[in-house]
Amino acid sequence: MLKQKKARSIIAHGKYPATTVGGDKGLTTSYVCGRFKRIWVEKSDMPIYQPSTILDIKPTPDGYISKRTRTNIEALRVHKGQVLMTCSGTIGKVSYVSKTLDNKILSHDLLRITCNNGDDAGYIYTYLKSKIGNKILLTNSYGAVITHIEPEHLSTVPIPDAPTEIKKRINDLIVRSFELRDESNELIDQATALLIEELHLPDISAFDVDFYKKRAPVDTFSVKLSDMAGRLDASYHVPIVNAITDHLQKYAEEVTTIGNKRISKEVILPGRFKRVYVEEGYGRVLIGGKQLHEIDPSGKKYISSTKHDKLLGKLEVYENTTLITRSGTIGKVALVPKHWEHWIPSDHIIRVVPASKDIAGYLNIFLASDYGFQLITRFTYGSVVDEIDDNHVRAVPVPLLKDHSIQQQINELALEANEKRYKAYLLEQEALSMMDEEVIFAK
């Protein structure tokens, strides 16, 4: 309770006079959309994104809704320059709308914040993400923790009204940071398009799957005894996997596996261990599978360096390692950027250490594709919690291209994208430091 009140006191007695984030005299206006019943369709030109994806560098839609859905679709769209905030469930997570999310349809339970002055957007985003700003955001004026955020709550959130010059410098850092994220996403798209073109890959839904009875009410297929591989669960023998593998064999120079020494040095599944948590600054960053697609994982925890000293060498990761979630939600893939070096992903994440920098980016592009996802998740087992292990990952097929120059180009695009994400992180950290040193704690 004291910490929240102290945060408000710091702003009230700061160098610059305080205004409010929202309200009649505040810096922004905001709104949330009303609830509505979604009409889901298999595919449409109206993908919808969940609030949890706003922190992802490259968000993916939760599904597609029909044009017959009875709601104000245009009100659901977000626009470049807005600040977004989760207002229910896990509240107070903020993001900035850049080219990647511009004009996309997002779920109703998300606060859309529009700045009265467009150059304030990056400043307000940085403040709400700062430790002091976020602490205040999540409490009411009495210091009690809130469980839901409404637009009117922002009228009670104080913010230093810094000089225009400082606001603009912070804003410019955030705008450029998100531009770099957009550029990295475009590079990933280019690399994926090259892979698809070179391997003549159709859309994942367009594969000619060999079903036993085409018109059966459920998918039916036969499996040769020689292909059982000791697995009796039908999910392992999904025909789409055979269709993808056969296609790769036809168009690739060679189809090998992740376990091949030309592809990976190691595939590491960390053993489970008892975690000893410490405060920030006293240990290593621990990140979970839910955070793999974030540039600066939210809700970071820290584990003791001294208590886990003997394990750290096996647990920490290095730049250009591919991470794959192995339980719960399986098959999320991320390429470790430079600023994640020496961080500790949880034991629910498998590490694929590339054989060299020349294969690291290409491998990640393939595994992160729709086709790689199918090849990873076919190994899933478990009746309550889905799992895969390191032996499964070693057996995942990987195509090597006939045109080596195209494969190298894909690799370089992926590594360049990863470098841009690192630079984007540095710019955001610079903005956060400026907010702390020149605004919040300035004397």
Domain ranges of the chain: 2-179+424-440, 200-400
Contact 209, 238 (CB under 8 A): no
Q: What is the pLDDT along the chain (443 residues), one digit of tens a residue?
A: 447 789 999 999 999 999 999 999 999 999 998 888 888 888 888 999 999 899 999 999 999 988 888 888 899 999 999 999 999 888 899 999 999 999 999 998 899 999 999 889 999 999 999 999 999 998 876 667 778 899 999 999 999 999 999 999 999 999 999 999 999 999 999 999 999 999 999 998 887 666 545 565 656 656 666 666 666 566 666 778 888 999 999 999 999 999 999 999 999 998 877 888 888 888 889 999 999 999 998 778 888 887 777 777 778 899 999 999 999 889 999 999 999 998 999 889 999 999 999 999 999 999 999 999 999 999 988 777 789 999 999 999 999 999 999 999 999 999 999 999 999 999 999 999 999 999 999 98
**Residues in contact with 378: Cβ distance below 8 Å, sequence separation at least 6, in sequence order:** 235, 236, 238, 241
Pull the structure tokens for residue 424: 């984007």
Q: 2-179+424-440 and 200-400 share one CATH topology?
A: yes
User: Which of 144, 137, 30, 35 has its CA nearest to residue 84?
Assistant: 30
Q: 2-179+424-440 has which fold?
A: Adenine-n6-DNA-methyltransferase TaqI; Chain A, domain 2 (3.90.220)
Give CATH for domain 200-400. 3.90.220.20
Distance of alpha carbon 351 from alpha carbon 345, whole angstroms = 9
Query: What type of residue sits at position 152?
Result: E
Length in residues, the chain = 443
